[in-house]
Amino acid sequence: MNHDTEVLEVFEARAQRRAERRDFLKAFAMTAVAGGGLAMATRIPRADAQATLTDGDVLNFALNLEYLEAQFYSYAATGVGLTPDLLTGTGRPGVALGGRQVAFSDPAVAAYANEIAADEKAHVAFLRNAIGATAVAQPQIDVSVSPTSAFSNAARAAGLIGAGASFDPYASDENFLLGAFIFEDVGVTAYKGASPLITNKVFLEAAAGILAVEAYHAALVRTTLDVKGVAMPALIDATEAISNARDSLDGSTDLDQGIRAIGNASNIAPLDANGLAFSRSAGQVLNIVYLNKAAVTAGGFFPNGVNGTIVTSAAN
C-alpha cells in the first residue's frame, strides 16, 4: 500500500538518525549491557494486515495495555485491583495475579502512584465506554513477584537480577519506579504508532489525549529516577539496562533510551534526532509485554495472551 510504503520510508530515515543519537549515547556511557544482545533482523516489522483493522480493534488493543497498567498501579498504590465492573467484555476473561501495595518511604512517590493509578483506571473506563459492547474483557495478567514472573523475567533480561532471583516491584520506592519504567515509555510509543491507524477523528483526538498523559507519566517516572539517581547511580544504570532489554525484543531499530545524561543535557524525554518520540507497531509492543522477540500470542505479562483481534507479536 502506498501509505505503508511512505510511512516505512519515513521510519527508515528516522531509524538512521536515531541510531546516530543512540551510538553517541552508547559510546558515552554504556557498561552493563543486557543479556540477549540486539536482534539482527533487517526488516522493520510494521504490522500484519493493518488495512483490515477497525478503530475498535486498535482501541481494544490499547485497552489490554491499560488493564495491565491500571492493575499494576492500582495494586501498588492501594493494595486492591480494579473493580469487577471494569473488567468484563468479549474474549477470555482473566485475573490480575500477584500485585500488592507498596509501603512507600517517600510521600511524593506515594502521591505519584496514587495519581497515575487514578489516571490509568480512568483510561480503562474511558476506552470501555468508547468501544461499547465489543470492549474486550481483562485477560489474565501477571504482576507477581515470583522468580519466574514477568517482572522477574524482564529484570533478568535487563541483567538487574541473576538466575533464580526475583524482582519485586512492590518492595521499595526504587523498585516501584523501575517497575513503572518498564511500562511507561512503551505506552507512549504504542499510542504514537497507532495514531495513523485511527480513522475516526473523535477517537483520534482522544487517543492523542491518552498519548499525552502517558508521556506525562513517563516523564514523572523518569524525572524521579533522575533525581534519585544522583545519590544512587545504579538507578540510572538500571534504566539503560531495561531500555536495552526492550530494544533487544522489538527488532533492530533502536526505539528506546534510558535516562543517562547525554553530554551536559539530561535525557528525560526519549526522542529521535528530530525531537520526536518513537513509534512502535502493535506487534512490537506485544514483543515487549510478551517478553518474546518471536511471533507468539501469549507470554510475559499476559500469560494467556491479550483479547481482541491484534494478538500476535512481531517476528524479530
Helix (H) or strand (E) holding 11: helix 2-28
Among 16, 83, 146, 266, binds another protein (CB under 8 A): 266
Query: In 211-250, which positions are buried (b, 16+ CB within 10 angstroms) versus exposed (e)?
Result: bebbbebbbbbbebbbebbeeeeebbbbbbbbbbbbbbbb
Q: Does residue 188 interact with another protein by CB under 8 A? A: yes
Phi, psi (degrees; rounded to nearest 5) at 97: -105, 135
Among 19, 33, 38, 110, binds another protein (CB under 8 A): 110
Among 210, 235, 241, 285, binds another protein (CB under 8 A): 210
Phi, psi (degrees; rounded to nearest 5) at 311: -130, -10
Q: How far apart are CA 71 and CA 221, in angstroms?
A: 17
Binding segment (CB under 8 A) for another protein, from list 27-35, 112-120, 132-140, 244-252: 112-120
Q: Does residue 112 interact with another protein by CB under 8 A? A: yes
Looking at residues 115 to 144 of the shown chain, list those that interact with another protein (rule: CB under 8 A). Answer: 115-116, 118-123, 125-126
Quote the cell numbers at residue 156: 533478568
* 248 or 279: CB nearest another protein: 279
Q: Give strand pairing partners of 117.
A: none
- As a dihedral over the C-alpha atoms of residue 191, residue 195, residue 200, residue 203, rounded to 10 degrees, the angle is 20
* 127 or 150: CB nearest another protein: 127
Phi, psi (degrees; rounded to nearest 5) at 128: -60, -40
* 141 or 210: CB nearest another protein: 210
* 147 or 209: CB nearest another protein: 209
Minimum CB separation of residue 128 from another protein in Å reads: 11
CB 186 within 8 A of CB 195: no
Q: Does residue 230 interact with another protein by CB under 8 A? A: yes
Among 18, 22, 156, 192, binds another protein (CB under 8 A): 192
Minimum CB separation of residue 311 from another protein in Å reads: 23
Among 39, 204, 294, 315, binds another protein (CB under 8 A): 204
Looking at residues 13 to 72 of the shown chain, list those that interact with another protein (rule: CB under 8 A). Answer: none
- As a dihedral over the C-alpha atoms of residue 281, residue 85, residue 101, residue 182, rounded to 10 degrees, the angle is 0
Q: How far apart are CA 147 and CA 299, in angstroms?
A: 15
Minimum CB separation of residue 124 from another protein in Å reads: 9
Angle, in degrees to the nearest 10, between helices 107-131 and 55-78: 150
Q: How far apart are CA 125 and CA 303, in angstroms?
A: 23
Q: Does residue 220 interact with another protein by CB under 8 A? A: yes
Q: Does residue 268 interact with another protein by CB under 8 A? A: yes
Angle, in degrees to the nearest 10, between helices 234-249 and 201-231: 140
* 280 or 293: CB nearest another protein: 280
Quote the cell numbers at residue 145: 513477584
Minimum CB separation of residue 274 from another protein in Å reads: 4
Minimum CB separation of residue 217 from another protein in Å reads: 7
Which residues contact another protein (rule: CB under 8 A)? 3, 6-7, 10, 108, 110-112, 114-116, 118-123, 125-126, 188, 191-193, 195-196, 201-202, 204-206, 208-220, 222-224, 226-227, 230, 261-262, 264-279
